[in-house]
Amino acid sequence: GNQKATHSENPQGKKSQHAEEAIFYMNCRAAYLTVFKSSLENIKSKEQLGLVLQQAGRNPSQKTINKYWTPQTTSLNFDDFCAILKKEKPATKNELLEAFGKIDTDKDGYILHDELCQILTTRGDKMTWEEVTSITKQADFNCSGKLDYNKFCELYLSTSEQCCRAARARLDTDPRLRQQHFGNQTGDSSEGITLPGPKPSPRASRKTDHKLPKGDSRAPSRPSSAQSSKASTSTTVTVGASSSRSTKLIIEPDTMKEWQWAQSKGCFYLEENGEIISHKYRLHLPQRSAVCVTIKPFKIPQAGGKSCHWLSVDTALFILKESETPENLQLVSFTELQNEEMFGWRGELGAGLYWLLPFTTGCRLRKVKTQIPGEAKLLWRDEDGELALTKEFRAALLDIFETIDLDGNGLLSLEEYNFFELRTSGEKCDQEAWAVCKENFEMKKNELTRQGFLDLNLMEANDQDGDPWDLWVTLLSLGYNKALEMTEACPFVIAMCAERCKPRIKAISLEAGGSQLSRAVCSSVMNKGEAKVLQGSENIFIYTHRSGSRITSVIENKSENKVIIHVNNEQSKNCLNNRGLRVFAVEVAPKSMMVSQHVMALNEQEEWIYSCVHSLV
């Protein structure tokens, strides 16, 4: 199919609809970051909701707060906040004057001080006398003790505007906040990746046809609602229901049965702020060899019969070559071939040290609000009053054991156990503490058995006299909800086979992907994807690449100035992205590149259409 860039320019002075939306989201973010450190933090109380709405120039009543913060609400995210601001418009001067006019019986533009105090302390959201006094001190009362409410409305509106301007000024002057994305960012990059220096211009839009996987058609598309105040480019990719997994990874058992294998398990964990962390691995290859590398979600044997939410999570593995120092890594390749839920890469690697960085887009591993019918019971007491693990909790612990047993030998080494400890408590178990465990719990070859792991958790419950609080802290940090379902984690298994030597894979850390992974993701899209330049902005490029069941777009800003790019997905069908917003804006630092978004099918059994317009604001 053809893929061409569609460009358009609006007449100067005409403010586009989506340019206004970009300003709206920027103002939302400015207000949000006045209260929170990141737009990924959640609103966790009514008080915080009221405060952040005030920073956005709103003055919500308790009734308004209660409309959005119900008894079932535990938190609201930045997306929710933007949605609320769209519904709750700031009060206009005419609306304020109309409200005051209803209590101005003489219709002379004044209200008696005592009358105002009586109304504010007895009607609606009742205020205290101290609160009323603090307001009236700032208001303009004449010598007769009357309020000039026309001046008061002007004071109120100017104060609200000053509040918004101060939030915007803080956003513009703080480099850390400037680099953050707008919207609900749950992907791999939280800031722009600085470009290393001048390099040849990327491929411009090709006029020739491109061979694409069957079921994938690309054509120019220009949503009528997506006009640009400066310049824009549009990309449309249509993917058939059966073609999401069409780039097959072929593993031939007959030809590879003599190859030598190494594998390790690991897990993606979703943090409270939406960030995703995972194990990182070091690979040692003794000599040059043909290799096959794969990654896929891990189906826990003990979880039979249960719903394994994580099996639909997309996974990828980026292979980086270590040169002089571990910090100096170069992208070799990534697993873009797909066979059902498995992603893989086949090729040849030279002898040396490599890093294997697992990755997921965050499209399907994300914070989701669900109603939990009731909290699962973790412990019970037998007829002798002794504490015991419930059947459900015991099953969950066995699932956890399978996940943290990285080498799959049915035992936990101190190294494997410490990944568990770091995730759940932030601390490590030293050799001395491990020796104490050996004295009290079942071990084999200095490694903890399944029964030993169960007994260890039971001991912790006994230490707390049956209070399950600490146990829940452990479960929640491992991605479980109160119904003992793993909804915010995705265990996976990576494997490598080599033709000429024995590969060695070792888990090194459990942390966020960081700049190395972000750079690898951007580079993979720029190397493999189609480049389009924004007309009239020859230094801004949009790259789009489809890899198996996902599409990723990257923005490269080669200019000396920061740019704000508006992203509109309103014409997309049957899609979900890692940001959780159909329309958003991103700020790209000078000489940098960043992921615009990752997109996947909402329902893979149906056709899906990715239709996106990137515009310069």
CA distances from 340 to 140, 238, 567 (A): 71, 20, 30
Percent of the chain with pLDDT over 70: 79
User: pLDDT confidence of 244, banded at 50, 70, 90?
Assistant: low
Ramachandran region, residue 606 (left: φ > 0; alpha: ψ -120 to 50; beta: rest): beta
Instruction: Classify the C-alpha dihedral 95-101-107-113 as positive or negative.
Output: negative
The CATH number of the domain covering residues in 13-90: 1.10.238
DSSP string over 385-453: S-EEE-HHHHHHHHHHHHHH-TT-SSSB-HHHHHHHHHHHTS----HHHHHHHHHHS-EETTEE-HHHH
Q: Are 289 and 348 in contact (CB under 8 A)?
A: yes
pLDDT at 386: 92
What's the pTM? 0.68
Least confident residue range of 46-50, 139-143, 322-326: 139-143
pLDDT at 214: 37
Q: Shortest CA distance to 311 belongs to which of 122, 503, 485?
A: 485
Question: For 342-365, how does the pLDDT look when each residue is reduced to its tens digit (9 = 90+)?
Answer: 999 999 999 999 999 999 999 999
pLDDT at 208: 34
DSSP string over 552-589: EEEEEE-SSS-EEEEEE-TT-BSEEETTS-SEEEEEE-
User: pLDDT confidence of 215, banded at 50, 70, 90?
Assistant: very low
Give yes or no for residue 383 having a pLDDT over 80. Answer: yes
Q: Shortest CA distance to 448 belongs to which of 460, 435, 459, 461?
A: 435
Domain ranges of the chain: 13-90, 93-175, 232-242+529-616, 271-294+303-367+501-517, 379-486
Least confident residue range of 23-37, 108-122, 484-498, 580-594: 108-122
Q: Which two three-digit tokens encode residue 50?
A: 């009221």
| Selected residue with higher pLDDT from 161 and 90 | 90
The CATH number of the domain covering residues in 271-294+303-367+501-517: 2.60.120.380
A 10 A CB-CB count for 587 gives 23
Task: Report residue 187: phi and psi, to 5°.
Answer: -95, -150
Instruction: Quote the CA–CA distance of 425 and 428 in Å, as a whole number.
Output: 8
Give yes or no for residue 211 having a pLDDT over 70. Answer: no
Please give the single-letter amino acid code of residue 373: P
User: pLDDT confidence of 174, banded at 50, 70, 90?
Assistant: low
| Selected residue with higher pLDDT from 482 and 181 | 482
Instruction: Quote the CA–CA distance of 583 and 591 in Å, as a whole number.
Output: 24
| Selected residue with higher pLDDT from 225 and 562 | 562
The CATH number of the domain covering residues in 232-242+529-616: 2.60.40
Give yes or no for residue 8 having a pLDDT over 50. Answer: no
What rounded mean pLDDT belongs to the chain?
A: 81
Q: How is domain 93-175 classified at the CATH fold level?
A: Recoverin; domain 1 (1.10.238)
pLDDT at 143: 54
Question: For 545-598, how does the pLDDT look when each residue is reduced to its tens digit (9 = 90+)?
Answer: 998 889 999 999 999 988 888 899 999 999 999 988 888 888 898 999 999 999
Mean pLDDT of 490-517: 94
Task: Please tell me if the domain spanning 13-90 has the same topology as the one spanning 93-175.
Answer: yes
Instruction: Quote the CA–CA distance of 432 and 440 in Å, as a whole number.
Output: 13
The CATH number of the domain covering residues in 379-486: 1.10.238.10
Instruction: Classify the C-alpha dihedral 594-570-609-491 as positive or negative.
Output: positive
Cα torsion through 506, 507, 512, 515, rounded to 10:
-10
Q: Which residues, including other chains, have CB under 8 Å from residue 366's CB and lie 6 or more apart?
A: 186, 270, 274, 578, 580
| Selected residue with higher pLDDT from 512 and 111 | 512
User: pLDDT confidence of 203, banded at 50, 70, 90?
Assistant: very low
Give yes or no for residue 186 having a pLDDT over 50. Answer: no
